[in-house]
Amino acid sequence: MATSSSSYEIEQLQKGCYYEWMGLQAKHIANLKEALMSQQSYENDHKLVGVIVNDFQKYAEKRRELSHRSCSSYFAPSWNSSLENGLLWMGGCRPSSFIRVIYALCGSQIETQISQYLHKIDGNEKVDGLMSELTATQLAKINELHIKVIEKEDKISKKSASMQEDVADMPIAVTAYAKDLVEAGVVVEDALDKHEEGMAVLMEEADKLRVETLRKIVEVVTPVQAAEFLLAGKRLHVSLHEWGRVREERRFGCARADAVAGGAGAGTSNKTTC
Segment 100 to 139, residues that bind a copy of itself, using CB under 8 A: 100-101, 103-105, 107-108, 127
The separation between CA 75 and the C-alpha centre of its own chain, rounded to angstroms, equals 11
C-beta of 236: minimal distance to a copy of itself in Å? 4
Q: Binding of a copy of itself at residue 268 (CB under 8 A)?
A: yes
List the interface residues with a copy of itself, window 142-201 (CB under 8 A): 150, 153, 157, 161, 164-170, 172-178, 182, 184, 188-189, 192, 196, 199
> Residue 24 or residue 83: which is nearer to a copy of itself going by CB?
83
C-beta of 21: minimal distance to a copy of itself in Å? 17
C-beta of 214: minimal distance to a copy of itself in Å? 13
Q: Binding of a copy of itself at residue 79 (CB under 8 A)?
A: no
List the interface residues with a copy of itself, window 205-234 (CB under 8 A): 231-232
80-84 own/partner pairs: CB under 8 Å, 24+ apart: 80/241, 80/244, 81/241, 81/244, 81/245, 81/247, 81/248, 82/244, 82/248, 83/240, 83/243, 83/244, 83/247, 83/248, 84/240, 84/241, 84/244
- The residues, any chain, with a CB within 8 Å of residue 161's CB and separated by 6 or more, are none
Q: Binding of a copy of itself at residue 254 (CB under 8 A)?
A: yes
Q: How many residues bind a copy of itself (CB under 8 A)?
A: 84
In the chain, alpha helices (H): 4-38, 42-67, 82-87, 95-118, 136-166, 172-178, 185-220, 223-248, 254-262
List the interface residues with a copy of itself, window 39-78 (CB under 8 A): 70-73, 75-76
Among 57, 116, 138, 269, binds a copy of itself (CB under 8 A): 269
CA–CA distance, 46 with 63 (Å, rounded to integer): 26
> Residue 12 or residue 41: which is nearer to a copy of itself going by CB?
12
